[in-house]
A and B are shown apart, each in its own frame.
Chain A
Amino acid sequence: MLSRIAESLYWIGRYAERAEGTARILDVHVHGMLQDPWVDQEEACRSLLKVMGVTTDATQVSTLQVVSLLGLEQASPSSVVGALAAARENARGARETISTEMWECLNATWLGLPAARIRIEQQGMHAFFGWVRERCSLLNGLTEATMSRDDGWLFLMLGRSIERADMTARLLSTHADAGGSIQSWLSLLRSCGAWETFLRTYRGALTDRHAAEFLLLDRLFPRSAFAALSAAESCLDELEQATGPRAGVATDAHRIIGRARTDLEFRGVDELLSNLSSVLSTVERACSRANTAITGRYFRATAAVTWAVA
């Protein structure tokens, strides 16, 4: 498949997942601010911005500002609105490859963004974040239902999985930064949509150990860091299947992701918990390095050339 198209699909996967993940994180954050009258708003907001990799020069940070920076900032591909627009822009350049339904979904979402702002004013943030989750779920469903399981699919899944691992790591960082209370585990699990599954798995016992194990290592829950990294790994494996090497793995990206995955897998929960921050930043770094490796391996030379007259 065309390198340029592969790149677009990869980024559709990443941006859509980012929009959803960020919306989930913000929803929980806003909810937490409202629920807990004793929380230090300023501190919590700063911590969230830091974890999401956004810098601000404002001396005072309010929840409203956080939502506007991470949720509504059009120019930033890290915000919910920006990521949705970027996903649509990538889809626009790959329109003949994705199904009409996927394109219509992304395009209609993009067209709906202005109306979504009005929704915030009328119905509050929660309605907006709900809408974003719904649109992303719709996209995922349409992708699932209409896309052939060819290389294009693999690139899209690869992007989604890498972003998901990154998002989960960031989400856990907010917990570590907030001092790791039980209350914050609760909201964390909620924001992943994992609360009920978690309760069923551990029969209601919410402890640090269980929560960390679930979000980092669970094999069956798709948003755990382990599951997301494994999914990315299997995409990378399938991409090279035709020419797979006899020893080891074929690509740097695969090596990076594989190491990050085993690093989680073969450490005990206690060890992970005692060193949570550094574990999480290792996962984040692995995602970013894998991104570079994937770009170098599959998306090279897709920039236009400027010609000089000899």
Chain B
Amino acid sequence: MADLFEDYRLGPGWDEMFAEPAVPRPSYETLYATLQALSSADLGLRSEVLQRAFLDQGITFALKGVERPFPLDIVPRVITAAEWAHVEAGVAQRIQALEMFLADVYGPATVLSDGIVPRRVVVTSAHFHREAAGINPANGVRIHVAGVDLIRDEQGAFRVLEDNVRTPSGVSYVIENRRAISHVLPEVLASTRIRPVDSYPAQLLAALRAAAPAGVSDPTVVVLTPGVHNSAYFEHTLLAREMGVELVEGRDLLCAANEVSMRTTAGEKRVDVIYRRIDDDFLDPVHFRADSMIGVAGLLNAARCGKVTIANAVGNGVADDKLLYTYVPDLIRYYLAQEPILPNVTAYRLEDNPDVLEYALGRMDSLVFKPVDGSGGAGIVIGSRASEEVLEKLRARITVDPRGWIAQEEVALSMVPTLIGNRLRGRHVDLRPFAVNDGVAVKVLPGGLTRVALPEGELVVNSSQGGGSKDTWVLAEATDPSEPSPQHPRGAAIPQPRKPDPGPGTGEVVAQQQQQQQQTVGEAPC
């Protein structure tokens, strides 16, 4: 039954499943074949099971104070091994360059004196925390976890939309989406070789342990959460649970003489590494907001003194500022002497010179404007969709504060079929791969979070803007030696399993047991 794809239209933008109508790309053939065989009622039913499972497990995020599930679309997105290799290398390269940049700006700042990045870009960044200068992380890592937002342009090429090196969230959905989809689409999973994503917590824990202060051989790692009311609380619990570490709130921690400990029922216990999911501004009331009730007083100096590692490091925001984004290709050339593997989306710095500003303001209807300090899709204006009135207001704001904005060329994001009502329709997607840096290598989790904009034609795919997500399948190479299948080593003898013991009255074996019992009874007491 082909009714699911009835009236399916390609474009605008690169369609990831179809090269032309009804002809799927090779990577999508199995999925397409499975979906085709399903009626819309079947798929709808499975989709309902999916949403229900998420709600019961409490896989939710809080939007405007209400807990709601993050809608998971039932149709996965498929990425080929070759495409992924490219993304992986590009993301790792970018994180390496940003690591070096952070070590530099909070240290010797040669990138500034060499004129690669103007000092004004750094010193005017709201996230350049001078309090972090002089904090030297134990293994040199500041970006323990990163999420790099990618999109595919009209030609299908991956481009970087923005970097997230503060406290990127969403990895829990990558893990949970896979679990959920494997329950509702077992037949496709079984016939496709997909790289697993459940090793992430172990990888993260290894990276956090590697970041422990010098001389600590068996470090205590904790996850620091703002509390149950945080929108990503579910993720904090998932990571703590799967890493097997404590999930603490600020009030559970105590900092005395630069040593951090947690309050336990058996007294205070030293903490060595804190994977914190609290923003810099709320982390330490001594240095940042004194009214913060979720932070830990004295934490920053404990880190400065080398007694505890804060992951991600304080002040990383200077590296994912949207204005700095425009310099990242230059940073890659400067620090690594390499060409960027993943290009940026063409962007304009409005504060650079009046000509650029004039140019951008002259064609506002074909550009996307982003506030440089914003996150989560807030404040973005898509010129082609905005009313004349909105654009006029924006023009006034940008003219006053050109440092506060960048402009990007509008890109028609790639599309993947998505269950809308009882039909499949093309919807725009982006991709956030997650990278973990353990100080030796930057490892990129094969998959990442695909966010999908559910309203037709919508280009902003952020979860705080009412988007959904998709499970993201990275296909394994035909022979991938890095992930051996869990088979028993050849030649090892596996003992024949025994039958489970039967209950009374089911035959032969029982008779024997009864006999034994009688024998026991019959023995003379000694």
Contact = CB atoms under 8 A, between A and B. Distances in A.
B263 A1 contact: no
Given A2-B248, A2-B263, A93-B228, A304 B293 contact: yes
B237 A95 contact: yes
B314 interface: no
B254 to A, nearest CB: 8
A97 B237 CA distance: 9
A100 interface: yes
B249 interface: yes
A266 interface: no
Interface stretch (B239-247, B348-356, B502-510): B239-247
Contacts of B240: 96
Interface stretch (A68-76, A104-112, A282-290): A104-112
Contacts of B233: 92
B193 interface: no
Contacts of A100: 57, 241
Contacts of A242: 266
Nearest to B263: A3
Contacts of A95: 58, 234, 237, 241, 247
A96 B237 contact: yes
Given A93-B228, A111-B56, A151-B265, A2 B290 contact: no
A164 B237 CA distance: 30
A96 B247 contact: yes
Nearest to A243: B266
B196 interface: no
Contact of A305 (B56, B247, B251, B264): B251
Contacts of B266: 1, 242
A1 B251 contact: no
Given A4-B249, A93-B228, A96-B241, A301 B55 contact: no
Contact of A104 (B57, B223, B236, B297): B57
A238 to B, nearest CB: 12
B305 interface: no
Given A103-B58, A305-B293, A2 B241 contact: no
Given A95-B237, A298-B265, A302-B263, A3 B252 contact: yes
A236 B9 CA distance: 67
Interface in B261-294: 262-266, 285, 290-294
A239 B265 contact: yes
Contacts of B285: 307
A104 B237 CA distance: 14
Contacts of B263: 2-4, 300-302
A96 to B, nearest CB: 4
A288 B237 CA distance: 32
B57 A2 contact: no
Range of interface residues on B (Cβ < 8 Å): 20 to 34
Contacts of B265: 1-3, 6, 151, 155, 239, 298-299
Contact of A108 (B56, B291, B292, B294): B56
Nearest to A112: B56
A50 B236 CA distance: 43
Contacts of A58: none
Contacts of A304: 249-251, 293-294
Contacts of A6: 264-265
A3 B290 CA distance: 25
Contacts of B241: 95-97, 100
Contacts of A303: 251
Contact of B290 (A155, A302, A309): A309
Interface in A260-310: 298-309
Contact of B252 (A4, A97, A111, A307): A4
B58 A92 contact: yes
Interface string B97-139: 0000000000000000000000000000000000000000000
A226 B356 CA distance: 82
B49 to A, nearest CB: 14
Nearest to A155: B265
Contacts of B264: 1-3, 6
Contacts of A306: 293
Contact of A2 (B58, B228, B262, B294): B262
B289 to A, nearest CB: 9
B293 A2 contact: no
A4 B224 CA distance: 13
11 contacts: A2-B265, A3-B264, A4-B249, A6-B265, A96-B238, A100-B241, A107-B57, A301-B263, A304-B249, A305-B293, A305-B297
Given A95-B237, A96-B246, 19 more contacts: A4-B248, A4-B251, A5-B246, A92-B58, A96-B223, A96-B237, A96-B241, A104-B57, A111-B56, A242-B266, A301-B251, A301-B263, A303-B251, A304-B294, A305-B293, A306-B293, A307-B285, A307-B291, A308-B290
Interface of B: 55-58, 223, 227-228, 233-234, 236-238, 240-241, 246-252, 262-266, 285, 290-294, 297
